[in-house]
Amino acid sequence: MLVPVSNAYSGYQELIPNANNVQHPCIPNYRWPGVGHENRNGGGTRNIFGQDFANAGHQWTRSLCLQDSDGDGRTNGEELGDPSCVWSEGQVPSRTFNITHPGVCEPLTDAKCLGKNNFVSCQLESFDNCNVIKNTDIRTLDLRFPTFSVPASETNYVCMSFDLPQDQDYHVVADQAIINNSNVLHHMLLYGCDDVNSTFYSTPTLCGMSGSVCNSIIAGWTVGQSGSCLGDNVGVRIGVTGYKKARLEIHYNNPSMVSTYRDSSGLRLYYRPARSDVQDLYTLMTGQTMLELPPGQARVEKVGVCKGSCTSLLFKQPVYLMSAINHMHYLGRSMKIELYRNGILVANLTDDEYYSYDSPKTHDHYPHLQILPGDEIVTKCVYNTMTSKRWVYFGEATSDEMCLGFLSIYPKSALNFAKTLCVAKSSLSYCELAQGTPLNGCDWKKLLTPTNPETVRIATDLYKNCNLDGFCRPECKEIVRNISSSPCFQGDTGKFVKSYLAMSKEGLDILGRLQSCPVSSVQNCTVQQCPNRCDVDISGSAYAGAPGVSQVSSYLLVVLLVISWSLSHKH
């Protein structure tokens, strides 16, 4: 039986401007998705705005827009980003930022608001229902940053490394967030480092999302949670035969770019001496990383498939699912993860009919659900982009989007690899990429091999014959046409190849030269014009004037290291 731990909110959001974008009146970084209810997650008693909305027939009327439901001196339209009362369902509101609550009188401490907001709680979630941490053999370890200045930029990933106990084996059975500055905290993840010689950050250091060395999740926190409790029968192994080092990664969301924020947040680990009857836990990540979300759409669905061929590769025996959690950002509306066996739906691993980033649900399974090698795991994410005026893509920032599922499974010994994930990149699988499997007729691994003669020829031809200034040289047209017609540059495979090229300056250079003569719209020019438009000196040798070729080869080697984990990582 799948058991979510929090309630869903109502489906009236699409009938109200910016209903999914209402800020919590007193907890930074939190929102109030159940805008018409006293419970911020929806359901139960209506607040004063919810009563007015019901009286208006659950419609956004001009009369409702002009009302000041909460009596704070601002109309409902002004609070919800429709001050002129012209919004209608399916439109993008005139303002999509600084959205305040039309049912909460603000400022909360103002005399006119006293007695009106008794349902509003300004307290973060408490961690008080975990029985395992009351055992006498439990020890604690606080892993937190020393006080430091948060950078004055919107999105920052900051990392710091820590040594874990190594005198014997232990199991981490619970973790709790230590919140110092809730104004900027987005989420925290503690990764176990499989390589004890990995880069050690002794102070908080800008790091981007965690790299390929420390990527096994030990613990984590996100907005809306207080901690996690694994219980008596499972745990994450640390110590002599477990993780010896860990990297704490904190995502700071500072859209106002405040320069005076300081923070010393972190995680508290509850751990105990390892016992043979306790199963080693592992977090498997699923989902979709190729997201392209157009603006102004009420519903955009993206699907990521962890294929049966992947689970057969990843699992050498059945594993058991203890719990699962969904992760999207603020455009996310609903999300579910499904388990299929021989093409037949076995169970929903998660099912958030109404997803709320601020109130993540942990979907527990009793009894624990068996997943077999060969089973297929399908992740479905639905977004509403009505409040967005731009295309949104997968990315680190809160203003970007994600489609990821985190499955807590055991035993870890059932995994064929020390580092395991099963996310998709469009229709492609990272399992296939890791094995170097040719995709749709493209031997991409060979293409990304620096010494491959075909790779060298392509790079040389582009540097010799194609510009970066948008001018289409005649000799470049046929080169671009031939490269673009290759299976490696078409469809989902092409997106994959191009997305990795776009991760470096040299790769962007190649893409820019390819784009100088778009196949669908090739510019016309004369040969006489070209000498003055050439941006490289190609005299002397094939590589003269094209210093980027060797740099590209180095980059392609890095790509192979990043996207592949080899059989040498087996347990």
Type of residue at 152 = A
Domain span at residue 307? Answer: 286-409+417-437
Q: Both 453 and 433 in a single domain?
A: no
381 and 461 co-located in one domain: no
> Cα(507)–Cα(523) distance, rounded to whole angstroms?
23
Q: How many domains does the chain have?
A: 4
Does one domain contain both 310 and 254? no
What pLDDT score was predicted for residue 209?
A: 62
Which residues does the chain have with pLDDT short of 70? 1-11, 208-213, 418-419, 450, 519-571
Q: Coil, strand, or helix at residue 112?
A: helix
Determine, yes or no, domain membership for 318.
yes
Give yes or no: residues 300 and 429 share one domain: yes
Angle at 65 between CA 59 and CA 70, to 5 degrees: 105
pLDDT one-digit tens code per residue, 8-30:
344 677 889 998 889 889 887 77
The CATH number for 208's domain is 2.60.120.310
Dist. CA 188–CA 220, nearest whole Å: 5
Residue 80 and residue 129 in one domain: no
Consecutive H or E run containing 408: strand 404-410
Examine the domain organization and report whether 430 and 449 are in the same domain: no
Note the pTM of the prediction, 2 decimals: 0.71
Contact 4, 348 (CB under 8 A): no
482 and 473 in contact (C-beta within 8 Å)? Answer: no
Residue type, 564: S
Residue 549 within a domain:
no
Q: Is there a contact between 66 and 121 (Cβ–Cβ < 8 Å)?
A: no
Residues 268 and 331 in one domain: no
One domain, residues 72 and 133: no
DSSP string, 47-63: -HHHHHHHHTTSS--HH
Secondary structure element (H or E) that encloses residue 496, with its range: helix 491-501
Residue 528 domain-assigned (yes or no): no
Domain's final residue, options 236, 260, 280: 280
Residue 165 within any structural domain of the chain: yes
Helix axes 548-563, 453-465, angle to 10 degrees: 140
Helix (H, G, I), strand (E, B) or coil at 561: helix
Tell me, rounded to whole angstroms, the distance of Cα 184 from its chain centroid: 17
Same domain, 100 and 225: no
CATH number at residue 292: 2.60.120.230
What pLDDT score does 248 carry?
95
Identify whether 521 is part of a domain: no
Separation between Cα atoms, residue 19 and residue 13, nearest integer Å: 5
Asked whether residue 556 is assigned to any structural domain, the reply reads no
The predicted pLDDT at position 183 comes to 86
Residues 265 and 314 in one domain: no
Euclidean distance between CA atoms 268 and 172, whole angstroms? 10
Q: State which of 485, 516, 547 marks the end of a domain.
A: 516
Q: For residues 449 and 491, state if they share a domain.
A: yes
Domain boundary among 229, 262, 280: 280
Q: Kindly give the residue spans of alpha helices, DSSP state H, lying in 391-490.
A: 430-435, 444-447, 453-465, 474-484
Cα 352 to chain center, whole Å? 17
User: pLDDT per residue over 433-467, tens digit each?
Assistant: 777 788 888 888 888 776 888 888 888 889 899 98
User: What is the pLDDT, as a whole number, of residue 161?
Assistant: 94
CA–CA–CA angle 33, 38, 39 (5° rounding): 60
The widest CA-to-CA distance across the chain, in whole angstroms, is 85
Q: Are residues 116 and 137 in the same domain?
A: no
Structural domain contains residue 168: yes
Under 8 Å between Cβ of 239 and 167: yes
548-563 and 505-515 helices cross at what angle (nearest 10)? 110
d(CA 18, CA 233): 44
Q: Tell whether 85 is covered by a domain.
A: yes
Give phi and psi for 82, each to the nearest 5. -130, 60
